[in-house]
A and B are shown apart, each in its own frame.
Chain A
Amino acid sequence: MLEIQGLTKRFGGLTAVRDVTTTFEKNRINAIIGPNGAGKTTFFNLVSGYHKPTTGRIIFDGQDVTGLRPDQVATLGVARTFQSTTLFDKATVLDNLIVGHRLRTTSTFWDVVLNTRRLKEDEHRCRAKAEEVLDFVGLSSVAHHLAADISQEERKRVAFALALATDPKIVLLDEPAGGVNPEETLGLAELIRKMIRKGLTVCLIEHKMDMIMSLADKIVVLDHGEMIAEGTPAQIRSDQRVIEAYLGADYAAA
């Protein structure tokens, strides 16, 4: 599904990601873990087109997407969420989601001026999609609330919904459970499983190890930009380098 070959990103003298080679299988939950500053978010930025890699290639669905713009990558089916989602607080949750499906529509400025049928159909489709994804993430009940008034956990779900509205094949989630309580974390983990059941592929960055260990099919560990290990949760838990760099002795014993 997603193949990373020798990916390197240097910012001046700093190498944020160094020669990472890995693959993410279709319809699996892949996790990227590592200490702060390990290059996890930079890795996402490379895959989603925000940064151009210094060297290396990114193959998505058999197609070389290295160096494409973020909007082009999104159109090919790569969606992502950010650590914090900037919503338009003065509009309703549903209103915020409608634009998410815009990339699958074709109406232009002239359709707007002439108010053509194509525009109406496109707008209808976007609204239907927004309702569909809102229902999928379990937020239909707050559809008409102002975005300013929803909780942190609901905000996370709206971010998922926005990503899903683009009709993606793979969803990159940057700390989906950051800043929410343990109970809500379980709910979000369940939502991620639901995305897999729907046929999606998920790749997430997360610091909550309990969540990762029970959720992920594959874990990639980054440290100082380098991939120090990859494998199943069981393999990662017993990997000596990972324990030293990140997990600590306590976790290995547990």
Chain B
Amino acid sequence: MMSKTWQKPLLAVLLALAIIFPMFAANDYYIYVMSLAYIMAIAAVGLNLILGYTGQLNLAHAGFMAIGAYTVGILTVDYGVPYWVAFVIAGLLSAVIGFFAGLLSLRLKGHFFSIFTLCVGFMIYLIIEKWDTLTHGTVGIIDIPAPTGIGPIRFDNTWSQYYLVLFFLVVSLWLMSRIVHSLLGRAFIAIRNGEDLAETLGINLMRTKVLAFVLSTFYAGMAGALYAGFVRFIGPAMALESHTFDMIAFILVGGIGTLFGPLLGAILLTWLTQSLQFLQDFRMIVFGPLLILLVMYFPQGLIGYWRERQARRAAASMQDRRLQRSVIGSQQEVGTNA
């Protein structure tokens, strides 16, 4: 559907740019900010699966990211579990909790689902904040160990952690690409387009939606686990819905329902926030109008806008070729269409 010939080279160039980025960064702080953007992108890619592809606005997404982060924090700091073991458990636990939360909340549709998940997210926040003995309460968890080295590779400095995060980002995007371009992805998209029609086509709504929900919470959990090992301090506020809204902003800016939209949005908005840091809270005065303009002129986000142009051009060229071919056979074609 898109011109695939130059898609692969473009991806290779982007990956190469990401790989050489630390060498050109002025200082370690830039590498740190970029790594953080990648982690947020992984979470946003997950949210995009349930929001952008399946059409269900889950406002508890930051809560599931917090579950992943706290799983790593609690297991490594209080129980001495090795980082990577905790990392795997974090992903699985988020997905398991996501399964039950999804089973319950996906009984509701549209706005009701969103409001319900808003409450689920807040419950996760409250549990983290109030359950001192397990989660350290409002104090948060400090001194979370950095990811332990694998073989000769160590993850104790910003550079190596950048590459670790980049690795997981690439894996996340690769897996998401598989999912959304498969028959399963088509089933998700069919649900977004119209639940009634999707059901008529024999798609089991509940099962398919729960699967999308679980996958998205798994992504959130993994992103949270990476976050814990990278920032090495976590507090209950990370479960708040304002972080979900940050991720929604990434998705809207980059392109809802596109593979790379969440990543582009995460990078752009993270750097924009950084460069407006000197304005402190007044940066929202710049931020707000920018977002409004974007939604007005690029409602599909930047990549969505670009994709639509591509698709239209491809369709037009197909049509041209067909017209040229059918000049002679036009009578025949009219005959079969009538």
Interface residues of A (CB under 8 A from B): 48, 50, 69-71, 74-75, 79-80, 82, 85-88, 90-92, 95, 98-100, 102-103, 105, 107, 109, 112-113, 115, 119, 122-123, 126, 138, 141, 144-146, 149, 162-163, 165-166, 186-187, 190
Contact of A187 among B1, B202, B338 (CB under 8 A): B338
B209 nearest CB across to chain A (Å): 12
Report the Cα distance A26→B236, complex, angstroms. Answer: 63
Contact of A79 among B1, B187, B200 (CB under 8 A): B200
Q: Does B11 contact A (CB under 8 A)?
A: no
Contact pattern, B 180-194, Cβ under 8 Å of A = 1, otherwise 0? 001110110110011
Q: Given that A50-B196, A187-B338 are known contacts, is A100 also in contact with B178, CB under 8 Å in the complex?
A: no
The 3 closest A-B pairs by CB, nearest first: A103-B202, A86-B194, A74-B202
Q: Are A141 and B333 in contact (CB under 8 A)?
A: yes
A95 nearest CB across to chain B (Å): 6
Q: Does B173 contact A (CB under 8 A)?
A: no
Q: For residue A71, which residues in chain B have a CB less than 8 angstroms away from its CB?
A: 199, 201-205
A144 nearest CB across to chain B (Å): 4
The residue in chain A whose Cβ has the minimal distance to the Cβ of B175 is: A113
Q: Are A102 and B183 in contact (CB under 8 A)?
A: yes
Q: Are B187 and A102 in contact (CB under 8 A)?
A: yes
The residue in chain A whose Cβ has the minimal distance to the Cβ of B206 is: A69
B314 nearest CB across to chain A (Å): 7
Interface residues of B (CB under 8 A from A): 1, 175, 178-179, 182-184, 186-187, 189-190, 193-194, 196-205, 211, 215, 300, 307-308, 311-312, 314-315, 318-319, 322, 326, 333, 336-338
Report the Cα distance A115→B318, complex, angstroms. Answer: 30
Q: Are A92 and B202 in contact (CB under 8 A)?
A: no
- A-B interface contact total, Cβ < 8 Å: 111
Contact of A90 among B204, B205, B308 (CB under 8 A): B308
Q: For residue A99, which residues in chain B have a CB less than 8 angstroms away from its CB?
A: 183, 186-187, 189-190, 198, 201, 203
B47 nearest CB across to chain A (Å): 19
| Contact sample, A vs B, 13 pairs, CB 8 Å cutoff | A48-B200, A82-B200, A85-B197, A102-B203, A103-B201, A103-B203, A105-B183, A107-B183, A123-B182, A141-B337, A144-B315, A145-B315, A146-B312
Q: For residue A92, which residues in chain B have a CB less than 8 angstroms away from its CB?
A: 1, 311, 315
Q: Are B182 and A119 in contact (CB under 8 A)?
A: yes
B140 nearest CB across to chain A (Å): 35
Q: Are A112 and B315 in contact (CB under 8 A)?
A: no
Q: For residue B184, which residues in chain A have a CB less than 8 angstroms away from its CB?
A: 107, 109, 112
Q: Are A91 and B1 in contact (CB under 8 A)?
A: yes
B177 nearest CB across to chain A (Å): 11
The residue in chain A whose Cβ has the minimal distance to the Cβ of B300 is: A90
Q: For residue A186, which residues in chain B have a CB less than 8 angstroms away from its CB?
A: 338
Q: Are A88 and B189 in contact (CB under 8 A)?
A: yes
Q: For residue B205, which residues in chain A have a CB less than 8 angstroms away from its CB?
A: 71
Q: Are A102 and B202 in contact (CB under 8 A)?
A: yes
Q: For residue A50, which residues in chain B have a CB less than 8 angstroms away from its CB?
A: 196, 199
B134 nearest CB across to chain A (Å): 32
Q: Are B178 and A144 in contact (CB under 8 A)?
A: no
Report the Cα distance A85→B190, complex, angstroms. Answer: 12
Q: Given that A71-B204, A88-B189 are known contacts, is A146 also in contact with B183, CB under 8 Å in the complex?
A: no
Report the Cα distance A240→B185, complex, angstroms. Answer: 53
